[in-house]
C-alpha cells in the first residue's frame, strides 16, 4: 500500500520516497513508491503532474491500493525526490473545493443535490437532481453568491478520517462511498459547520484559497441539470476571455461593449426582416418561373433543371414545384448549388403516383437521400453529374 501524503497536506509538493516496484502502464515505464504526494485521477479530479528524480510524471493511476506513477522516461530506482507541479495542484484544489462549496449552496438554497462532478481542463461541471426549469437566472445568482460567501468568510477546512461514531453525528451531504475521510468546512468544535462531505481529493486549509466561484451556465441533463462553473484563477481567465469576446463583438457591431446586447438584438431583427423580404421575392420569382415552365413544357410531367436565386436551391425548388402543382402539373425539378444536386417533386393533391418513393429513388441515383409525402418530396445528393439522368428516369417512370 502506498502512503498517500496528499490526504493530510494538499500543500505538500516536494517529498522523498523509495521505489518499491517498477512496472509498465500503456507501454510506458511506471513506478510504485512507498509514499507519494502525487494525486491519482479519482472522483472527477484529474491526476497531478510533476517529476520523480527529474523524470517527468505524465500520469498517476490508482492501482488497487498502490499509486502507479507513469513516466515520460526511464524509471529511476532507490530513493528518489518527487516534485508535484504547483500550478496544476493549486488549480485542482481551487476547482475541487469550490465544487464542494457550490454543491453545498445548491443543496441549501435550491434543494438540488449533486450527483456527479467533473473537473475539466477549462471548466468544471456538476450534475444536479432537479430539472433545469427550477434553476432560473435568479436562483443561479443566489446560489453563486452563497457559495462565494463561504469563500470570502475564509472558513477553516479540515480533511481527515473519522470514526463511525463521528460520522453518525455529522450532517453529511452524501454517504461515504469508500473510506471514512470527510472534508469539513467551518469550526466543528464551535458548532459552526457549513458543510461535511466524504471525499478523497485535495483541499485547501481555508475556503479563501478558492478565490472566487463563477457559475457560467445551466443546461438540461437527462431529467436533471448540468451546471458549468469555474473557480479561482480560472474565474480571472474566464472574465478576461468574456471581455475580449465582448470587445470584438462591439467592434463588429460598431458600438461600445456595454451596448452589444441591444445592438445584437437590433441586427438580428433587421436580418429577420431581410430574410422575410428575400423569401417574398423568391416566392414571386418562383411563381413567375412556374408560369414560364408550364407554358413551355409539353403535356405531362414538367422536368427541368433550374438556376436558383437566394435563399437557395431547396426553398426555391420547393416553391416552384408547389406553384406548378397548383396549376395541375406534376413537377420534377432539380438544381445544382455549390456542387451538390437538389431535387423537388410535387403534384396536385389526390390520386396519383407516390412522389416520396419516386424521389427516394432519384436521390439514391445522385448518391444522396430524400423522400416525402405522396404529393410533395425533396432530397439532395453529392453526385451532381448524374442529376439529369436521375430526372429522366423519374419522368420515364411516370409515362
Secondary structure (DSSP) of 61-109: EEETTEEEEEESSPPP-SEEEEEE-HHHHHHHHHHHHHHHHHHHHHHHH
Nearest CA-CA partner of 208 in 140, 265, 151 = 151
> 101 with 208, same domain?
yes
Q: Which of 195-199, 211-215, 274-278 has the lowest mean pLDDT?
A: 274-278
Instruction: Indicate the pLDDT class of residue 311, thresholds 50, 70 and 90.
Output: low
Measured between alpha carbons, how far is 235 from 210 in angstroms, rounded to an integer? 10
Please give the average per-residue pLDDT across 204-229, as a whole number.
97
Q: Which of 191-200, 205-214, 334-343, 365-374 has the lowest mean pLDDT?
A: 191-200
What number of residues does the chain have?
Answer: 399
pLDDT reading at 283 higher than 80:
no
φ and ψ at residue 344, rounded to 5 degrees: -145, 120
Please give the average per-residue pLDDT across 146-163, as a whole number.
93
Last residue of a domain, one of 49, 84, 119: 84
pLDDT in tens, 184-211: 999 877 878 999 999 888 999 999 999 9
CATH of the domain at 309: 3.10.310.40
CATH of the domain at 71: 2.40.30.130
* Grid cell digits, residue 194: 457549513
Contact indicator for 77, 22 with CB cutoff of 8 Å: yes
Contact indicator for 206, 182 with CB cutoff of 8 Å: no
Q: Is 0.85 topped by the overall pTM?
A: no
> 393 with 325, same domain?
yes
Q: Is residue 275 part of a domain?
A: no
Three-state DSSP state, 142: helix
Nearest CA-CA partner of 360 in 352, 369, 347, 351 = 369
> 230 with 350, same domain?
no
pLDDT of residue 166: 81
Q: Kind and range of the H or E element at 278?
A: helix 260-296
Q: Kind and range of the H or E element at 9?
A: none
pLDDT in tens, 352-364: 999 999 999 999 9
Measured between alpha carbons, how far is 19 from 6 in angstroms, rounded to an integer? 18
> 108 with 200, same domain?
yes
> 217 with 332, same domain?
no
> 96 with 195, same domain?
yes
pLDDT in tens, 85-98: 999 999 999 999 99
Contact indicator for 212, 235 with CB cutoff of 8 Å: yes
CATH of the domain at 143: 3.30.980.10
> 321 with 224, same domain?
no
Q: Which of 204-213, 276-285, 340-349, 377-386 has the lowest mean pLDDT?
A: 276-285
> 66 with 163, same domain?
no
Query: What is the number of structural domains in the chain?
Result: 3
Q: Is residue 333 part of a domain?
A: yes
Measured between alpha carbons, how far is 103 from 112 in angstroms, rounded to an integer? 8
pLDDT reading at 310 higher than 70:
no
* Grid cell digits, residue 229: 462553473
Q: Kind and range of the H or E element at 394?
A: helix 387-398
pLDDT reading at 315 higher than 90:
no
Name the average pLDDT for the chain.
Answer: 92
Measured between alpha carbons, how far is 178 from 183 in angstroms, rounded to an integer? 14
* Percent of the chain with pLDDT strictly greater than 90: 77
Last residue of a domain, one of 84, 115, 138: 84
> 340 with 218, same domain?
no
Contact indicator for 217, 238 with CB cutoff of 8 Å: no
pLDDT reading at 312 higher than 80:
no
Contact indicator for 94, 88 with CB cutoff of 8 Å: no
Range of the structural domain that residue 8 is part of: 3-84
> 296 with 343, same domain?
yes
* Percent of the chain with pLDDT strictly greater than 70: 99
Please give the average per-residue pLDDT across 305-319, as a whole number.
82
pLDDT in tens, 98-132: 999 999 999 999 999 999 999 999 999 999 999 99
Q: Is residue 268 part of a domain?
A: no
pLDDT in tens, 41-85: 988 899 999 999 999 999 999 988 789 999 999 999 999 999 999
* Grid cell digits, residue 97: 473545493
> 243 with 326, same domain?
no
Please give the average per-residue pLDDT across 22-26, as a whole number.
93
Looking at per-residue confidence, does 177 or 228 come out higher? 228
> 21 with 162, same domain?
no
Q: Is residue 252 part of a domain?
A: no
Amino acid at each position: 500500500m502506498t502512503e498517500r501524503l496528499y490526504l493530510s497536506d494538499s500543500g505538500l509538493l516536494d517529498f522523498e520516497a523509495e521505489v518499491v516496484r517498477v512496472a509498465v502502464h500503456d507501454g510506458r515505464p511506471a513506478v510504485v513508491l512507498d509514499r507519494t504526494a502525487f494525486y491519482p485521477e479519482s472522483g472527477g479530479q484529474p491526476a497531478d503532474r510533476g517529476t520523480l528524480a527529474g523524470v517527468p510524471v505524465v500520469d498517476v493511476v490508482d492501482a488497487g491500493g498502490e499509486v502507479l506513477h507513469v513516466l515520460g522516461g526511464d524509471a529511476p530506482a532507490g530513493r528518489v525526490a518527487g516534485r508535484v507541479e504547483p500550478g496544476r495542484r493549486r488549480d485542482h484544489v481551487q476547482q475541487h473545493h469550490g465544487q464542494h462549496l457550490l454543491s453545498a449552496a445548491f443543496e441549501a438554497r435550491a434543494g438540488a443535490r449533486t450527483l456527479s462532478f467533473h473537473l475539466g481542463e477549462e471548466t468544471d461541471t456538476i450534475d444536479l437532481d432537479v430539472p433545469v426549469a427550477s434553476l432560473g437566472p435568479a436562483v443561479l445568482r443566489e446560489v453563486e453568491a452563497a457559495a462565494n460567501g463561504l469563500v470570502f468568510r475564509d472558513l477553516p477546512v479540515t480533511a481527515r478520517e473519522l470514526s463511525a461514531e463521528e460520522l453518525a453525528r455529522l450532517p453529511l451531504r452524501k454517504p461515504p462511498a469508500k473510506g471514512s475521510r470527510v472534508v469539513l468546512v467551518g469550526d466543528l468544535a464551535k458548532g459552526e459547520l457549513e458543510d461535511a462531505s466524504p471525499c478523497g481529493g485535495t483541499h485547501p486549509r481555508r475556503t479563501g484559497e478558492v478565490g472566487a466561484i463563477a457559475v457560467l451556465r445551466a443546461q438540461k441533463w437527462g431529467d436533471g441539470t448540468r451546471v458549468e462553473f469555474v473557480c479561482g484563477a480560472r474565474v480571472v481567465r474566464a472574465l478576461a476571455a468574456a471581455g475580449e469576446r465582448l470587445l470584438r463583438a462591439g467592434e463588429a457591431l460598431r458600438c461600445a461593449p456595454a451596448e452589444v446586447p441591444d445592438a445584437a438584438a437590433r441586427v438580428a431583427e433587421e436580418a429577420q426582416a431581410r430574410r422575410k423580404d428575400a423569401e417574398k421575392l423568391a416566392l414571386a420569382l418562383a411563381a413567375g418561373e412556374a408560369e414560364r415552365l408550364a407554358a413551355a413544357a409539353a403535356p405531362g410531367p414538367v422536368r427541368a433543371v433550374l438556376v436558383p436565386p437566394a435563399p437557395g436551391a431547396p426553398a426555391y425548388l420547393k416553391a416552384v414545384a408547389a406553384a406548378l402543382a397548383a396549376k395541375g402539373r406534376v413537377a420534377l425539378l432539380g438544381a445544382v448549388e455549390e456542387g451538390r444536386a437538389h431535387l423537388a417533386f410535387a403534384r396536385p393533391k389526390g390520386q396519383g403516383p407516390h412522389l416520396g418513393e419516386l424521389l427516394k429513388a432519384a436521390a439514391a441515383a445522385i448518391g444522396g437521400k430524400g423522400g416525402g409525402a405522396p404529393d410533395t418530396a425533396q432530397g439532395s445528393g453529392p453526385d451532381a453529374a448524374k442529376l439529369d439522368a436521375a430526372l429522366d428516369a423519374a419522368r420515364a417512370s411516370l409515362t
